[in-house]
Amino acid sequence: GAGVSQSPSNKVTEKGKDVELRCDPISGHTALYWYRQRLGQGLEFLIYFQGNSAPDKSGLPSDRFSAERTGESVSTLTIQRTQQEDSAVYLCASSFIPNSNQPQHFGDGTRLSIL
Amino acid sequence: ILNVEQSPQSLHVQEGDSTNFTCSFPSSNFYALHWYRWETAKSPEALFVMTLNGDEKKKGRISATLNTKEGYSYLYIKGSQPEDSATYLCAFSNAGGTSYGKLTFGQGTILTVHP
């Protein structure tokens, strides 16, 4: 497809389990971003990739969160030992180059619910 | 911590009304200001990316202005239609460093247009 694709669209899991969220950016986009939106809050930056490197991972809330990107394409966000406060919509976006004068193109998100 | 404020938090208008909302951001080290529309069950869609003080952008019935010296942007919708109902997000970027591609989002303005 032409847009940013995220999977799964919904994930329900028990507290303490690990989860992996996947993002397929638009082909040729070198920059990839992860955000999350918790209930009642705004979009919160987590990490961004330039190619396969992550120049800014300052938004990752704890060491239970990690992300990688391979082949300058697919990215995976992993949350270990999930907690209830991790429940949120996780959004991925990509842009042609990692410059904030470029619009970001978003996926539909993964709605993560931790029981 | 960068503070991006949007007002009002929510807005109800009648079809045909014109409306506007505000995004306030730090006036120092400005690089770019983005507006996105996020409809329920869809992905956020880029409306405008603005980089210059005094910028005015237009897309159909929607337009935006930018004042970087005082740190605000207005989004205007002329003749609102029910399909304009969405959350409108603004996002700010300051210049330089490893945060080059990073956006800080406001909490959004939820617009509901009643037929």
Q: B25 falls in which pLDDT band (50, 70, 90)?
A: very high
- B91 and A CB contact within 8 Å: yes
pLDDT value at residue B27: 86
pLDDT value at residue B98: 56
The residues, any chain, with a CB within 8 Å of residue A83's CB and separated by 6 or more, are: A15, A64, A114
Q: Is A5 exposed, middle or buried (0-12, 13-18, 19+ CB in 10 A)?
A: middle
Which carries the bigger pLDDT value, residue A63 or residue A42? A63
pLDDT value at residue B94: 83
pLDDT value at residue A24: 97
Tokens 């009642």 label which residue? A40
Q: How far is CA B22 from CA B58, B80, B89, in A?
A: 16, 17, 10
> In chain B, pLDDT over 90 holds for what percent of residues?
82
**Nearest C-alpha in A relative to B105:** A43
CA dist., res. A38 & res. A30, Å (int): 27
pLDDT value at residue B96: 58
Mean predicted lDDT score pLDDT of chain A: 94
- B37 and A CB contact within 8 Å: no
Closest CA to B46 of A26, A63, A39, A10: A26
> In chain A, pLDDT over 70 holds for what percent of residues?
99
pLDDT value at residue B35: 97
Mean predicted lDDT score pLDDT of chain B: 92
Q: What is the pLDDT of residues B50-105, one digit of tens each?
A: 999 999 999 999 999 999 999 999 999 999 999 999 999 999 988 655 567 788 99
Q: B41 falls in which pLDDT band (50, 70, 90)?
A: confident
Q: What is the pLDDT of residues A53-97, one digit of tens each?
A: 998 898 999 999 999 999 989 999 999 999 999 999 999 999 988
Q: A98 falls in which pLDDT band (50, 70, 90)?
A: confident
Q: Are B101 and A58 an interchain contact pair (Cβ–Cβ within 8 Å)?
A: no
Q: How far is B53 from chain A (nearest CA, A)?
A: 14
Residues from chain B that touch A105, judged by Cβ atoms under 8 A, are: 46
Tokens read off for B69: 């010296």
